[in-house]
Chain A
């Protein structure tokens, strides 16, 4: 199912979804578009990966869902960050920092 322009690293999708929700609640398509936007179009998340991730994260308690009206008055399911989710984002961000630093180091070594 990974037909994105760049394959997402395991665990990175969660971080990106959490990050996209920091600014406020969004529905699925909104999250997908936001990720596309903040990554400069590098990552596009297809529904086949997005929805399983959303439902799993909801069961983990990181995000909370509710039904609302979309911009053109359609019923849509919205997600927002919970306290646990905010904490998880911090954890994921730190972890990512470590990984990217480590990989950069590895690539610089001759």
Chain B
């Protein structure tokens, strides 16, 4: 009963508000009339009776306002009316509204755009069920093998799977390049060999067909394939009857048994899956870390618990198989965090920068709103006089600022569809295919929720700031005042704090932006030690079935080198395992030096291993430091030789006598042959994320042929135009070979640091916006405070003050506020740039020039902001300024 009453009252208050109001008005009036009548009956004269009645009533409007406050649902009603009022104000001041909404939309939009990347790349890189329980497991040999060397030996993986204490399941996989199609029309396709439980572990099911069975994990029974949705569309034209058809992969026949759903591309960028069929010998292998492993943690098992269990597991293996497993630890990382070392610092920095831009925008707008509040003081006072309480006024401000911020949020959402698409497409394909989640960058529910929360937060912040700034309203005083009203000391302090905050945010943001841009410029120059211009790069991978032995491989590449070198315009043609800027780390090996005592395992020197044909050093114009580079004479029948990089030579042979010494890959007692060092070449930076150039050992291709190599051509004209010539050469040798990754080396380099370039551009934009916002803000506050002192300045001048002293006084105030802001900002900026330097490649900690440069710039802006209005005020005739209101 009471509830239904309440609902009825609520609805009545909401929808019949006009009648409720009329009722109330009549009730109060009739009360007044009855009071008057009572007084007259008591013998008062009519005028006196009215006066007494009004005093007893205490003001019709005030009584009505008090009644309204008691009503159920009146809150909602008043919000609606406040919003209506706010909308009217918005429409009446289109200029002000546009400035506020656009500034906020810029700030909010920047945040949503960056958040769309954070959301996709950091929070949801894969859309697997229960993503947080998926972990990558690998074995660590205690040497720095790079981030992508996370492998496990197959026997160890099998032991781990059967021990099954912390994992619900464990699956293994390994990448494999395939040539798809028949002779004469072979396309490269990156595939993945996976255990039968691979898809079950990820909890994905095929869009059509079936998954692999355990029987298909046996060698010989493994000629089945599952294709990705994308490859079904591209390579097979979306053929609806694809299931059951056969395809040729590396010249073997496979039957397609399944098609995966759209968007499934784990591990990126695989487009095709075949069973991982290991021979018994391969299964029992503990020497080579050859497989990737992925596991799902049991419900309730934390990552640190699992890590502890894995530590004891690897300890057990060490004891059991000391020969192979000594010094090897098994470790794991959440799948979601696998690429965090690349993505986390970048995107958190961007998000923080965008947050700073929004804070600056808020500080600016708070200023603007405060300035307008001074003009509205009389309106506010009138409202207070008519019975509006402080909370009621707060609600009014809040609905106004929320209207601004939500309108801005809507604008930001509308714009974010375009800006997010621009962000997604600005990243080169070469990068995106390695970054899981990149396709997921879009305006989804999370981004919308984030944007809405941000706009609400901004609105509430501005509303509360206005409320605090308005403080206690004294209608009596304000309404009696003429002119624009006054600013109390407390209010001035709030605005001074805003100047300080703006200077602080702007300086920090500018320093970070400067560091990022500088970092990019440094990275762009990072690939030193070779000349990338006029070089074409083509990746070649020979199928294992046809090229089973080294003679065949060597023959193919020999013909290829001879054929391409004779193309008109080609100066040098050479082979290398891993060209610079490939975004892939080199294979890391240990080596021993002849004549030096055997070292402990932890002190064994390590280096990157590259296999190169003799012309490689000329193709990239890598300098020769000592000795000679190897030649065609260093072939399979000749003595084993190697060329080393300057880094190794200067460490072990500082006197420059490296040539002639012998090294061996692996331990001294291994069966590897001794390699005679014939020469030393300059250091080359492999990838942008390597903090320093890595030591490299180059082995001649003729002495250790590999199936997968990269062909590099130095040409006299535009290198891209030579691709078709190379294709013809390859077709003449073997029409079944696929070419992939055809690109000029310069473009490879540009692509490899594209993400840093985009970061630099975004940070640059944020920095410029920050500078503009803070300049406007600081100028606004200072010029207004000078304007308010025009009267005072006039009196001082009239009394004979020196204009120069007055100028000093005003500039001193500007400098004081800016100085406080900088005093806070400089240590923060130093701390942040230290953190950036340790997290972001290419950024160098605390750049003195950037810090001093931007500090000076902001100081200059602040002085200008103080000087211009001060000159105006001092230039005025005291007779005029004294009359200034």
Contact = CB atoms under 8 A, between A and B. Distances in A.
Size category of the B interface is 20 to 34
Interface string B52-73: 0000111000110011011110
B5 A61 contact: yes
A82 to B, nearest CB: 9
Interface of chain A: mostly helix, strand, loop or mixed: helix
Contacts of B23: 77
A89 to B, nearest CB: 15
Contact of A28 (B9, B27, B69): B27
A93 B173 CA distance: 80
A108 to B, nearest CB: 38
A81 to B, nearest CB: 15
A55 B28 CA distance: 12
A29 B57 CA distance: 11
B124 to A, nearest CB: 48
Interface string B34-60: 110110000000000000000011100
A29 B5 CA distance: 26
Nearest to B64: A51
Given A27-B34, A28-B31, A75 B67 contact: no
Residue among A1, A27, A29, A75 having the largest count of chain B Cβ atoms under 10 Å: A29
A55 B5 contact: no
A74 interface: yes
A90 interface: no
Contacts of A58: 9
Contact of B9 (A29, A59, A76, A77): A59
Size category of the A interface is 20 to 34
Interface string B1-15: 110011001000000
B26 interface: yes
Interface in B376-422: none
B56 A47 contact: yes
Interface in A67-101: 70, 72, 74-77, 84
Contact of A56 (B1, B33, B57, B70): B70
Interface of B: 1-2, 5-6, 9, 23-24, 26-28, 30-31, 33-35, 37-38, 56-58, 62-63, 66-67, 69-72
Interface of A: 1, 27-29, 46-48, 51-53, 55-56, 58-61, 70, 72, 74-77, 84
A51 B34 contact: no
B852 to A, nearest CB: 62
B27 A51 contact: yes
Contacts of A75: 26, 30
11 contacts: A1-B66, A27-B30, A47-B31, A47-B56, A48-B58, A51-B24, A52-B67, A56-B71, A60-B5, A74-B37, A77-B23
B37 A47 contact: no
A32 B24 CA distance: 17
Contacts of A53: 70
B5 A59 contact: yes
B56 A76 contact: no
Nearest to B56: A46
Given A1-B58, A61-B1, 17 more contacts: A27-B30, A27-B34, A29-B31, A29-B35, A46-B56, A46-B57, A47-B57, A47-B58, A48-B58, A48-B62, A51-B67, A53-B70, A56-B71, A58-B9, A61-B6, A74-B30, A76-B30
